[in-house]
Structure 1
Amino acid sequence: VHDALLQGKTGAEITDAADRAADATVPMKALRGRASFLGDRSIGHMDAGGRSVALLVRAVVETIEGHA
């Protein structure tokens, strides 16, 4: 998302980048937060914080673009 912003990407491209980043957390093992207690069982599940940030980015972009 940071790179997309610096490159002057469109709102749709920025929200797509945020969604891809959240999706990229699925194969990762949680190391922090409540999910870290699951250990290897956290692998295969999207990080809640990553998804929350993606939703926040989408809301900000929609508000800026006047679609909210």
Structure 2
Amino acid sequence: MTPYLSTNAAVAGELLAEAPPVITGAAATGIVHALGLTGPRIPDWITDPNLRADIAAGYMELSDDLAGGAR
């Protein structure tokens, strides 16, 4: 990650932590994930540890259809 992106994520994280919740639901989840403030959600039905590690590392993304929808 470039320093610019990590600085933006840190600033956004501070702003989100201090501000009252304004955005909720799928939009909030997508924004927080896009800023790198949280890792990807891995569905419970994925049991292969190697596949779970690849998803957590960002090597693979699941569509909302396979992931059970954004939460």
Q: TM-score, normalised by structure 2?
A: 0.32
Q: TM-score, normalised by structure 1?
A: 0.33
